[in-house]
Amino acid sequence: MTEPALAVKEPPAPGKMRDALTSLHRRPRVLALVAGLLIGLAQPPFGFIPGLFGYAILLFALERDPGNRPWRGTFFIGWLAGFAYFFVGCFWIAEAFLVDAKTYGWMAPFAATLLPSGIGLFWGLFAMAYRRLRSGRASRFILFAVLFSSFEITRGTILSGFPWDPSGSTWRAGSAMSQMAAFVGVYGLGLITVAIFASPAVVRAREGLRGWWPMLAAAILWAGCFAAGEIRLATTHIGSTSYTVRVVQPNVGQKAKWTVGALDSLLGDYVTLSRAPPAPGHPTPALIIWPEGALPAMFEDVLSADSWTAPILTSFLRDKQAFIMGTSRTDYDAKGRPIYRNSMVAMHQDGGRTYIDGFYDKYKLVPFGEFTPFQDILNPLGMKALTHFDDSFTPGERTKPVTFYTIPKFLPLICYEGIFPSLDMDSYRSSDDPRRPNWILNISNDAWFGPTTGPRQHLNLASYRAIEEGLPMVRSTPTGISVLIDPLGRVVAGSRIDLNARGFVDLTIPGRAERTIYSTSRFGIVILDVIFLLILVPFDTLVLMIRKKPIRSLFRRGYVD
C-alpha cells in the first residue's frame, strides 16, 4: 500500500506577499482593529511598548478609502480601534459583576462589551474630526495627536468622565518618560506620546531625508522628554518626615466579605494586624489605615451603642493614635431625607476616649458600580448599582486637601478617584503654600476585580497623581496592591503588599518634592491643544492652497489681500 505523499506548503512568492500586503493596506477596518489591540497591549501591566506604533497604523487606516459612505465608514474605523483598545484594557470589569453572580452575573458579558463599545464612540468621533480637518501635509500627524488628545480629555470629563488608560499612562509610573506628567500632566504626556508614535505614518521615503523629517522630529522629541525625565529622577530631592503610618491588608475577597459571620472574623483580623507590635527599633505608628469598604456593615451600625462591634472599634487604638478607614454610611440631605455615602472616616484615641474627627465623602462615583445613571428608567429594567442596599450613593463635595486631629494635611482619594487628574483644582503659589497637602491617601477596594489586570492598572494610574502633584501617596486595599509611592511615582522599596497577600506594613511618609509645573497650571494642556488647532489647521490649509496654485495667482485672484 502506497503512503500518501505529504503536502509541503510552499512559501508565498514575493508577488503574493506584496498582493497580501496591498490587500491589507486596502482594508482600513482590519488595520484599525489591529491598531487598537496593539495600543492596548502597550499599557501596563502588559507593557508591550512597540504596540504604540498602533497609532501610526490607525493614522494610516484613517487615510484609506472608508467606502461608499465616507463619514459612516470613518466613524466605524475609529470606533473599531477604540473598542479593541478598551476591551483589552477593561475586560476585568466583568469580574465585579460575578461577585454576586446570582443577582448581577447576567450583566457581566454586557459590561465587558458595552463599556468598550460606549467609550469607543469617542474614538469614532475623533476619526471623523480628523478626516474633516486633515490636509496633505506631513505635519498632519501633529493634528492627529492634538485631536486625539482633545477627545481623551473629553472622555475623562464629560458625563462624570472615565479616564481609564489615557494614552499618557502607557509609560510605567516612575519611569523617565512618566516624569513629563509633572510638567504637562498625563493628558499632555498623551499628546506627546501619540505625536511620537504616529509620525511613521506620514513619512515620504521617496523624498529622501526631507521626507523623513516627521520621524526625526519625533525622535528628537522623545530623546528630549526622556532626558528631562532622567534629570528629574536624578536631581529631585526627596526628604523624609517622622510621620509613620500602618497600612493593613487582610486579604479578604469581595464575595467572602459579605458571607455570614464575615464581620466577626474580619474585624478580628483587622484589629490583630493593627495591634501587632512594630519591628524592633521602629516607632509605634501614629496612624492606622484600613481600606475602602473595610467592614461589611454601615458605619452607624458598627458604632451603635447596642452593637458588639462598638466596644472593639473604640478601644483597639493606642493613646494619641489616629485611625482612618473606608466605610459606607447614612447621611441626610438638606430636606432631612436619608442618603448614602461612600466615605473615609477619621478617628483618634485620647485619654481612653475615642473621638470621630470627621469624614471625607467620595466625590467621583463609579457609574453602575456606586450609582445608576437615569435610575428611574434603568432600575425597573433590573440594572442597578453594585451597592449592598437598594439605592445609589450620593457624591460629596469636590475633593480638596483635609486635615484631621494631628494627621498632616493630605489629599483624600477613594478608589476610582485616583484615576482622575486634578480633582483638587487648587493652583499652588509655591512649594510651601500652606494650602498644599503633604501627601495623598488613596484607599481602594480592588477586591472587586480579583487577580485580573485591573488592580495593577489601577496602581499605575493612581501613581500618576503623585507625579503630577509632587506628593507621596499611600495606597490601601483589602487584597492588594497596598503600597507607598514616592513623589516621583516610584514604589518605595519594602512598602509593597502584593495581590492576595495578608499583612501590614509600617511606613514613614517621604517629604514632598518641589511644586510641579502641572500643579500650577492644571489643565493648561487644554489651552495648548486649542492653540495648536488654531495655528496648525489654518496653516496647513494655506500651505495646501499655495501648493495647488502659484503664489502670484493667489494675489491676482484675491485669495490674499
Q: Which tens digit of pLDDT belongs to each residue from 433-461? A: 999 999 999 999 887 787 888 899 999 99
pLDDT of residue 540: 58
* Nearest Cα to Cα of residue 366 among 171, 150, 90: 90
Backbone angles phi, psi at 111, to 5 degrees: -65, -40
The residue count of the chain comes to 561
pLDDT of residue 133: 87
The answer to whether residue 477 scores a pLDDT higher than 80 is: yes
CA dihedral 460, 465, 466, 470 (to 10 degrees): 150
Per-residue DSSP letter, 203: -
The answer to whether residue 527 scores a pLDDT higher than 60 is: yes
* Nearest Cα to Cα of residue 288 among 416, 440, 59, 474: 474
Query: Residues with Cβ < 8 Å from 318, sequence gap 6 or more?
Result: 284, 349
Residue 69 and residue 377: Cα distance in Å, rounded? 34
Helix (H, G, I), strand (E, B) or coil at 242: strand
Q: pTM value?
A: 0.87
Convert the pLDDT of each residue in 171-196 to its tens digit.
999 999 999 999 999 999 999 999 99
- Ranges 115-119, 185-189, 530-534: which has the least confidence: 530-534
Cell numbers placing 193: 506620546
How large is the average pLDDT for residues 361-387?
65
Convert the pLDDT of each residue in 390-405 to its tens digit.
568 899 999 999 999 9
Catalytic sites, residue numbers: 292, 362, 415
* Nearest Cα to Cα of residue 57 among 70, 39, 84: 39
Backbone angles phi, psi at 327, to 5 degrees: -155, 155
The answer to whether residue 552 scores a pLDDT higher than 70 is: no
pLDDT of residue 530: 66
CA dihedral 115, 116, 117, 119 (to 10 degrees): 90
Convert the pLDDT of each residue in 22-68 to its tens digit.
555 568 999 999 999 999 999 999 999 999 999 999 999 999 888 88
Per-residue DSSP letter, 331: E
Q: In CATH, what class is 240-520?
A: alpha beta
Delimit the domains of the chain by residue range. Answer: 22-234, 240-520
Average pLDDT, the chain: 86
